[in-house]
């Protein structure tokens, strides 16, 4: 509880609140600009501005964890 989760392409920052923030972390640059892969909410510099999301939602979406069984998809 209350821990951040770091994955190769996304990370989850848990502030101890009920809702944490998910950030895309794969940044690429193209023609002098940068943008974040898979992100639809970038700030002016092209970095992920963060997405409000519950920890459970993050785990289900990015870790393939189903909380009831603990199994994961390949
Ligand atoms: Zn994003």
67 C-alpha to ligand 1 centroid (Å): 24
> What is residue 15's predicted lDDT score, i.e. its pLDDT?
79
What is the structure's pLDDT at 12? Answer: 95
How far does the centroid of ligand 1 lie from the alpha carbon of residue 38, in Å?
A: 7
Q: Which residue has the higher pLDDT, 6 or 2?
A: 6
For ligand 1, the distance from its centroid to the CA atom of residue 51, given in whole angstroms, is 6
Distance CA(11)–CA(58), nearest Å, equals 9
Q: How far is the CA of 20 from the centre of ligand 1 (A)?
A: 13
Closest CA to 10 of 45, 60, 44: 60
pLDDT (tens digit, 9 = 90+) per residue, 5-59?
Answer: 999 999 999 877 677 999 999 999 988 899 999 999 999 999 999 999 998 899 9
Q: Has this prediction a pTM greater than 0.85? A: no
CA of 6 to the centre of ligand 1 (A): 14
Give 1's pLDDT tier (boundaries 50, 70, 90).
Answer: low
Extract the tokens encoding 45: 């510099």
């Amino acid at each position: 509880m209350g821990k951040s989760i770091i994955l190769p392409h996304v990370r989850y920052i848990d502030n101890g609140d009920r809702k944490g923030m998910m950030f895309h972390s794969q940044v690429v640059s193209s023609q002098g600009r940068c943008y974040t892969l898979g992100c639809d909410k970038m700030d002016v510099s092209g970095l992920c501005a963060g997405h409000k999301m519950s920890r459970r939602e993050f785990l289900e979406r990015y870790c393939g964890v189903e909380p009831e069984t603990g199994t994961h998809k390949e």
